Structure 1
Amino acid sequence: MNIYFEKCHQRGFGTFPLKAGELKAAIETALEVGYRAFDTAQMYGNEADTGEALLESGVARNELCITSKVHPDNYAEAQFLPSVEKSLKALKIDQLDVLLLHWPPVGGDVAPSLRLLEKAHAAGMARNIGVSNYTARMMREAQAISDVPLVTNQVEFHPLLDQRALLAAATETGIPLSSYASVARGEVFKHAVFGEIGATYGKSAAQVALRWILQKGVPLNTMSTKPANIRANFEIMDFTLSSIDMDRIDSMTHTGYRIITPGMLPWVPEWD
């Protein structure tokens, strides 16, 4: 079974933009709550803090799913594998559970960086590999290029953004999606429908938004520094949204709210 769809890893804890003591405290709470999947990246500058917190926790390594991502500045052949070695050293582990390409390369030719990702896998640096922020076209190209199955395309996915094109590409290519910015960095709370639906289940607006994502078949990453929110974001497996409520939330995707827009970063593609 795809690692992103194993029950205990449907809910991951994202670490951006946390660092130092704030990050360590959040990870400690997340572990106490039950999180075992943790997401970091070279770009976040917090791999060392993440690794230290996980090591000091005493939780067995084989219980954890640790994901990191290669910075696009390291896509050159001379830099790629050394950058992953540096990530492993910072995280204090011998192998990543999942290694992703953080962004498509500038210019859009995905083949060279995918080949380097496969080299990292062949070298035993990562048990699984995948991509992030790929368009549907890029997903199709990646599926055709990669000889190693890609376990995910991690993308912005929340109820205020229509990602049907990517969901269709996931079905077509066999590359599952996973979600970041799962509550649109708080934007969902500006829309009353989530709280209204939540009231009927005894759940919060955030829990409704997260449950909608899971029922779309998309594992998710959430981040908070508040213990109550860290717990609430995890406790979303004890209810199921009705088809009527799913449809109500589906209608919110036409809001078209997107956090990461073209031009914001050099690597942001023209989205579907």
Structure 2
Amino acid sequence: MSIYFQNGFERVFGTYPLKGEELAHAVAAAVGVGYRAFDTAQMYGNEADLGTALARLKLPREELCIATKVHPDNFPKERFIASVRQSLEDLRLDYADILFLHWPPVGGDIRPSLELLEEAHRLGLARNIAVSNYTVAMMREAKKLVAAPIASNQVEFHPLLDQSKLLAGAAETGISLSAYCSVARGKVFDYPLFKELGEAYGRLPGQIVLRWILQMGVAVNTMSTKPANIHANFGVMDFTLSSIDMARITELTKTNYRIVTQDLVKWAPAWD
């Protein structure tokens, strides 16, 4: 089972692309409704802002689950650990709860960055290690290369993209999935099914989407600056979609609408 689900952190507040006071206000609103898991990355350029925002709120450290990600530019051995230490300094933390590799390396040799990720774990800089945007083949190889458990593979996951191969890979390897682009950057709302189901369950369309993801066994990562949306995104644990409605939503994955393409991101692998 996912570390997110094991520890009650299956609803993660994402921070991209927020910075400064906008981020601080959003984080305060998120904490107010109950969020305790927060996601950032070196690539986002907001680790220090998140650290400042959380320090203002003076939450007990043991209540928090803070995840950050190592930028591929910092995968070389001479930069990796130093970059993680800088991230922790910016976040005002002694350790990250989950430390991700943000992308597979260009060229496809995942061993060096995985070994450095495991070194960060051995040094106590991260309680858990994870990867992002790995294919099934990469998940299998990572499982063989790394002795420490790999907590998650964070990937694009929403009802308009067929990720059945990755879900099968997660079941095979024990590396669970966590989602980004959970509502396909708003594209899901072009589909009447979510409004229909929202009316049937007395929920907002976005809550139906997030509930589907959770029932697929995938942690959700959402971001908003609007208090009402932050509250709605968090409030998805007190209802359950029927198996029939889950299947109706899953049928939409045949759309295969992918946001993060190889044209958009140079580190993107050949997707499954």
TM-score by length of 2: 0.99
Any idea what the Cα deviations from partners look like across 1:63-93, whole Å, max 9, x if unmatched?
Answer: 0000000000000000000000000000001
One-letter amino acid of the structure 2 residue matched with residue 192 of structure 1: P
One-letter amino acid of the structure 2 residue matched with residue 265 of structure 1: V
Specify the alignment match of 1:10 in structure 2.
10
SS at match of 1:237: coil
User: Does structure 1 residue 151 correspond to structure 2 residue 151?
Assistant: yes
How far apart, CA to CA, are the structure 2 residues paired with 1:186 and 1:265? 20
- Among all aligned residue pairs of Structure 1 and Structure 2, give the percentage whose two residues are the same amino acid: 61
Specify the alignment match of 1:171 in structure 2.
171
User: Does structure 1 residue 96 correspond to structure 2 residue 99?
Assistant: no
Rate the CA distance shift 1:20–1:105 in 2: closer, same or farther, 3 A.
same
How far apart, CA to CA, are the structure 2 residues paired with 1:79 and 1:265? 22
One-letter amino acid of the structure 1 residue matched with residue 238 of structure 2: D
Specify the alignment match of 1:250 in structure 2.
250
Specify the alignment match of 1:208 in structure 2.
208
User: Does structure 1 residue 198 correspond to structure 2 residue 225?
Assistant: no
8 Å CA contact 2:2, 2:177 repeated in 1: no
Specify the alignment match of 1:69 in structure 2.
69
How far apart, CA to CA, are the structure 2 residues paired with 1:265 and 1:248? 31
* TM-superposed deviation, 1:165: 0.3
* TM-superposed deviation, 1:263: 2.4
SS at match of 1:160: coil
SS at match of 1:228: helix
* TM-superposed deviation, 1:5: 1.3
Specify the alignment match of 1:52 in structure 2.
52
How far apart, CA to CA, are the structure 1 residues paired with 2:78 and 2:263? 27
Specify the alignment match of 2:86 in structure 1.
86
* TM-superposed deviation, 1:6: 2.6
How far apart, CA to CA, are the structure 2 residues paired with 1:93 and 1:34? 21
Specify the alignment match of 2:269 in structure 1.
269
How far apart, CA to CA, are the structure 2 residues paired with 1:12 and 1:3? 12
How far apart, CA to CA, are the structure 2 residues paired with 1:252 and 1:204? 18
* TM-superposed deviation, 1:2: 4.4
How far apart, CA to CA, are the structure 1 residues paired with 2:6 and 2:51? 22
Any idea what the Cα deviations from partners look like across 1:166-207, whole Å, max 9, x if unmatched?
Answer: 000000101000111110111101111011011111001100
Specify the alignment match of 1:113 in structure 2.
113
Runs of 4+ off more than 2 Å: none
One-letter amino acid of the structure 2 residue matched with residue 252 of structure 1: L
SS at match of 1:212: helix
| Structure 2: segments with no counterpart, 5+ residues | none
SS at match of 1:127: strand
8 Å CA contact 1:8, 1:36 repeated in 2: no
Specify the alignment match of 1:21 in structure 2.
21
TM-score by length of 1: 0.99
| Structure 1: segments with no counterpart, 5+ residues | none
How far apart, CA to CA, are the structure 1 residues paired with 2:222 and 2:70? 20
Specify the alignment match of 1:234 in structure 2.
234
One-letter amino acid of the structure 1 residue matched with residue 155 of structure 2: V
How far apart, CA to CA, are the structure 1 residues paired with 2:263 and 2:230? 32
* TM-superposed deviation, 1:58: 1.3
One-letter amino acid of the structure 2 residue matched with residue 181 of structure 1: C
Specify the alignment match of 2:42 in structure 1.
42
How far apart, CA to CA, are the structure 1 residues paired with 2:13 and 2:185? 14
Aligned CA RMSD, in angstroms, stands at: 0.8
SS at match of 2:8: helix
Specify the alignment match of 2:182 in structure 1.
182
* TM-superposed deviation, 1:250: 0.5
Task: State the number of aligned residues.
Answer: 272
How far apart, CA to CA, are the structure 2 residues paired with 1:174 and 1:66? 21
How far apart, CA to CA, are the structure 1 residues paired with 2:40 and 2:137? 26
